Structure 1
């Protein structure tokens, strides 16, 4: 699916994407989907680390194909003088640069914000890192699981005994990194329209995850209670807000908070005696859990959904990915699209989470081949054929890999 009829909301903005994993890729794809001209700067040979993550479709990683549509690929060796100079020349025409290196790496290459703003004072420079650009942990390695752990969120993902478990989604990467970065970038674009100047944006994925603790932070800051997964009303302790296995091995999510929904549920399943016991504790909670577990084991998942949907309560089947793709709501919202790729063929794409009436998101191109746009992007900033050939010949750039 492609649509070039309307310009995107961010049409005219040029982004240099130096990131190599999920947080930066998701951020810049949001910008690209909204019309920004995003140019990936990749290292010779391997390129973006996402390119070889399983599963591999034909030659390219499925995750890379889902995270890099609407982008171009320029290969530059940023450890060489020629590669650095080419990046500086690209910065002259850029609005935004996004990088995800450990703090200090770009400064050591003489490509940090202080150096690049001298070339382009309007540049908005966003650095996404695990712990931020300063502080005692700034140079520590880490990934999503570590950032959640330090942010206090690691104990919220737990079994009912309070034992921490690994979350199934990269929450700190995307929620604490990608989305915070995109928000900061767009705010800086607006600020620049008044000041004429860019700025440095310091995104810590740990900060972002910590900022998500509004509900659970209140438990400690105002209630003196340390929240733990499995031991709080909305994190596993309450029977009314929990998951249950059905007779066929399928699972359902009972997500009731409001009293009127609980009353409807009790009436629909014939448990009127529980109407006044929505939030039991201790032995009473265990007894109610046992009762509801036994109840849901009496029928299949889909039969329970058919039975309780008319009751108009927060109750849904728990899908795996293949089922979610076929769900009528997901289909109606066009959350699964497709695009043609020169090597991979017609490939699926996850749809746009942001729906805009006047400047809708579009798919203009599939994820790029490694180095696909090296020559065209360098030509666009005035490089001669001899300069381009020299850059590629010295392996400071790269021909497209097909």
Structure 2
């Protein structure tokens, strides 16, 4: 995107009352698309994420990754002055994002019904674990709890029946941040068409069911509810497995379709295993024994010449150096501290055509640094969010 072209969310002001991951990731995506995001934080330390380790530029690197390009304003929302300053900003806001348990914002005088009186066309997005209503709505929970409650965790069980800890925060991201962003954009589009403001109820647990579309379809249509290790993508077929190599590395093998499965078996010298329907466990053991005869590098060279959905399991530090992702400039965007030092920024699913130029490292805010600009509207100078130093490293 050229600097002369406005970003799609230019002129949209977002007040972000959220902390940790789901809300901040949502507002990060809005900021990357040009929105002005004002992060409302507690005066006594701000967002809890600031206290995490390791550190970068005096703050937690987690905070830096999730909050670049935003402004920070510290307000004690339990005090009349803090609420008054927040309400003054609401009059100028397009979107509010909050992540408290149901009822907390209402007690603070900042609920949707209260703010709608000040700004009738306000889009008010609430992100919670289980939604604004229902028996679980006020139950404390984290990502692991959402996965357990929705049936997702049960499908990760190993041979002993013990569920495995997911290595990605699927509920916070796929169930929280992404649906919140999508619905905010839909609400803005609806408002542009004359539909006015609205309240968005985003429940992270609800969003996890979407990730299990195949299990829901099988269960509702045929009564075939997924079992750990027993279904198409949970280990029930030799065509979708992780196999150990001779040097104790691993291959991700996913030739699900017949054409890929045939080519895979031809490549490993076992075409006789094509019919895996009668004894899938036996075929899996045969394939596992063959994969154990070579090192990972040898298999990688072989499958580089046969396109059958097989690759080596890479560690994260290997993955970020892969020529494919480097060639797509996935880590070309950078986050900077106030001294101009920078590191690769968190990739977000906002297309490059909508984002600010990648060559400009973007700062994350120091706690309450926007207080000096507070004049009722909080004038936003984009230069304060962009690291001006061309020499960041």
**What is residue 385 of structure 2 aligned with on the other side?**
none
Give the aligned length: 376
- Following TM superposition, by how much is the alpha carbon of 1:161 offset from its aligned partner in structure 2, in angstroms? 4.3
The answer to whether the aligner puts 1:141 opposite 2:136 as a matched pair is no
C-alpha contact (below 8 Å) 2:57/2:337 kept by paired residues = no
Greater shift in the superposed pair: 152-161 or 70-79:
152-161
C-alpha contact (below 8 Å) 1:98/1:125 kept by paired residues = yes
- Listed as ranges, the gaps of 5+ residues in structure 2 are 380-393
SS for the counterpart of 2:344 is: strand
- Listed as ranges, the gaps of 5+ residues in structure 1 are 384-402
C-alpha contact (below 8 Å) 2:235/2:241 kept by paired residues = yes
SS for the counterpart of 2:15 is: strand
Q: Select the residue among 381, 390, 396 that pairs with 2:377.
A: 381
CA offsets, 1:56-79, max 9 Å, x none? 234211111111111111111111
Q: Select the residue among 295, 302, 309 that pairs with 2:304.
A: 309
Gap change, CA 1:266 and 1:373, over 3 Å in 2: same
SS for the counterpart of 1:347 is: strand
Structure 1 residues 172-183: aligned runs within 5 Å: 172-183=171-182
CA offsets, 1:64-111, max 9 Å, x none? 111111111111111110000000001111100000000000000111
Gap change, CA 1:5 and 1:160, over 3 Å in 2: farther
CA offsets, 1:350-378, max 9 Å, x none? 23433244x345566221111111221x1
**What is residue 383 of structure 2 aligned with on the other side?**
none
**What is residue 286 of structure 2 aligned with on the other side?**
291
Structure 1 residues 3-402: aligned runs within 5 Å: 4-195=3-194, 197-277=196-276, 279-280=277-278, 284-337=279-332, 338-343=334-339, 345-357=341-353, 359-362=354-357, 365-376=362-373, 378-379=374-375, 381=377
Structure 1 runs, 4 residues or longer, greater than 6 Å off = none
SS for the counterpart of 2:234 is: helix
Greater shift in the superposed pair: 51-60 or 265-274:
51-60
- Following TM superposition, by how much is the alpha carbon of 1:345 offset from its aligned partner in structure 2, in angstroms? 1.8
SS for the counterpart of 1:222 is: helix
C-alpha contact (below 8 Å) 1:8/1:362 kept by paired residues = no
Aligned-residue Cα RMSD (Å) equals: 1.9
After TM superposition, the score normalised by the length of structure 2 is: 0.91
Partners in 2 of 1:229 and 1:38 — Cα distance?
42
Partners in 2 of 1:286 and 1:177 — Cα distance?
37
